[in-house]
């Protein structure tokens, strides 16, 4: 199967119409989108209460956006939204203090690392911790620094919880996990240029090393494209806010990193969604350039399969040759299992 046969399937990586309206309301305070969302789900409090995908992690953002947009909301629902925001504020006080102390000690130890995802963006792109639920701290570091990092974190009262797929997870007595990743992605690709593309961001009273905005966006989208965690929609929020806070974003660098990941077609589709559905400030030329790039089709299909069953993937392939190619890939996958 070739990348040219993927376009219809790549839609399976994207939020559906109901989720898109929720995102528009939560990120942009779009009241028309909020009204459509409510019409689709009925009672929004019940819908969010029954959420099993993690979408309710975006509720603090929804609260602030709807409040600032002057939305007319039921008093009970306002209380629900406000309570979620307050919980995040209270949680963030402990989380941020422990996180800042641990990262400061790691930096002082000489360990070379990059802070990834939520914690990397929480102050620079989200402005405050209450708006971005951070379950854990993800760090990318060289294998040679892993033991040093574990030793430093143990001195901060963290204990090794488990090691899986080359990732070591340590947990603080307050249940804050820190994950040490010797690989940037869960799949093999050349990440040497990602490592070099470094910048620093402020976190409380310290500065932390992170990926450049272009490399970080590829990591966010690439991770979402290949993991079932994309159903929580946090990738949309993180990517949208990153783009809002990166005025010097370099299109050429972004395309280069996307090609290095082998996921350019998927990243093109996801970038297109951010631009068209959420009005993210990303140039059309970037999406066009990515769309003409080749990618690791099997890897992309594995990512799609993480959330979509085989029958849905086959149905989404509109042309006969696409259905045939996808069916062959699924049969080959079953045979490998």
Per-residue pLDDT reduced to its tens digit, 283-334: 888 888 887 788 898 999 999 999 999 999 999 988 888 888 889 989 988 8
Amino acid 4: pLDDT: 67
pTM, to two decimals: 0.94
Amino acid 337: pLDDT: 67
Backbone φ/ψ region at 72: left (φ over 0), alpha (ψ -120 to 50), beta: beta
Decide if 176 contacts 98 (C-beta within 8 A): yes
Backbone φ/ψ region at 164: left (φ over 0), alpha (ψ -120 to 50), beta: beta
- In angstroms, rounded to a whole number, what is the distance separating the alpha carbons of residues 188 and 23? 32
Query: What is the token pair recorded at 333?
Result: 């996958």
Strands 206-211 and 177-181: unpaired
pLDDT in tens, the chain (337 residues): 666 667 789 999 999 999 999 999 999 999 999 999 999 999 999 999 999 999 999 999 999 999 999 999 999 999 999 999 999 999 999 999 999 999 999 999 999 999 999 999 999 999 889 999 998 999 999 989 999 999 999 999 999 999 987 899 999 999 999 999 999 998 889 999 999 999 999 999 999 999 999 999 999 999 999 999 999 999 999 999 999 999 889 999 999 999 999 999 999 999 999 999 999 999 888 888 887 788 898 999 999 999 999 999 999 988 888 888 889 989 988 887 6
Backbone φ/ψ region at 112: left (φ over 0), alpha (ψ -120 to 50), beta: beta
Question: How far is residue 59 CA from its own chain's centroid?
Answer: 16
pLDDT digits over 20-32, tens only? Answer: 999 999 999 999 9
Residue 180 has, within 13 A of its CA and on its CB side, a CA count of: 30
Decide if 221 contacts 236 (C-beta within 8 A): no
Alpha helix ranges (H) inside the chain: 7-10, 17-28, 31-41, 44-49, 59-68, 75-108, 117-121, 143-155, 192-196, 213-226, 234-244, 251-261, 264-278, 284-291, 297-305, 310-316, 320-336
The residues, ordered by sequence, that sit 6+ positions from 119 with a Cβ below 8 Å of its Cβ are 99, 134, 137, 138, 203, 208
Q: To which residue do tokens 């989380």 refer?
A: 95
Q: Single out the residue of 8, 10, 4 nearest to residue 301, CA to CA.
A: 10
Decide if 197 contacts 211 (C-beta within 8 A): yes
First to last CA, the chain: 19
Decide if 326 contacts 319 (C-beta within 8 A): no
The helix or strand, by DSSP H or E, that contains position 201, with its residue range, turns out to be strand 198-203
Decide if 232 contacts 55 (C-beta within 8 A): yes
Handedness of CA 184, 185, 191, 193 (dihedral sign): negative
Query: What is the token pair recorded at 49?
Result: 């209460």
DSSP 8-state symbol, 133: -
């Amino acid at each position: 199967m070739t990348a040219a046969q993927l376009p219809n399937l790549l839609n399976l990586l994207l939020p559906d119409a109901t989720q898109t309206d929720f995102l528009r309301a939560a990120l942009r305070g779009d009241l028309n989108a909020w009204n459509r969302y409510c019409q689709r789900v009925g009672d929004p409090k019940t819908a969010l209460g029954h959420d099993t995908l993690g979408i309710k992690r975006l509720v603090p953002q929804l609260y602030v956006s709807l409040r600032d947009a002057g939305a007319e909301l039921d008093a009970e629902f306002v209380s629900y939204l406000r309570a979620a925001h307050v919980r995040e504020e209270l949680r963030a006080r402990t989380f941020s203090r422990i996180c800042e102390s641990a990262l400061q000690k790691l930096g002082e130890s000489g360990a070379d690392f990059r802070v990834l995802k939520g914690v990397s963006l929480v102050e620079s792109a989200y402005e405050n911790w209450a708006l971005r639920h951070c379950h854990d701290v993800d760090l990318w570091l060289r294998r040679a620094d892993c033991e040093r990092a574990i030793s430093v974190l143990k001195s901060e009262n963290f204990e090794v919880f488990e090691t899986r797929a080359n990732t070591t997870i340590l947990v603080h007595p307050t249940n804050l996990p820190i994950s040490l990743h010797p690989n940037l992605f869960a799949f093999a690709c050349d990440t040497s240029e990602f490592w070099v593309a470094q910048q620093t961001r402020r976190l409380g009273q310290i500065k932390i090393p992170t990926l450049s905005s272009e490399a970080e966006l590829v990591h966010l989208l690439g991770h979402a494209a290949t993991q079932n965690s994309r159903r929580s929609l946090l990738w949309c929020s993180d990517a949208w806010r990153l783009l809002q806070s990166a005025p010097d974003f370099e299109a050429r660098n972004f395309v280069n990193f996307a090609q290095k990941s082998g996921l350019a077609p998927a990243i093109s589709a996801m970038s297109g969604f951010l631009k068209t559905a959420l009005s993210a400030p990303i140039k059309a030329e970037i999406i066009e350039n990515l769309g003409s790039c080749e990618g690791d089709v099997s890897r992309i299909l594995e990512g799609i399969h993480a959330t979509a069953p085989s029958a849905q993937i086959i149905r989404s392939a509109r042309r006969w040759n696409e259905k045939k190619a996808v069916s062959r890939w699924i049969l080959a996958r079953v045979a490998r299992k």
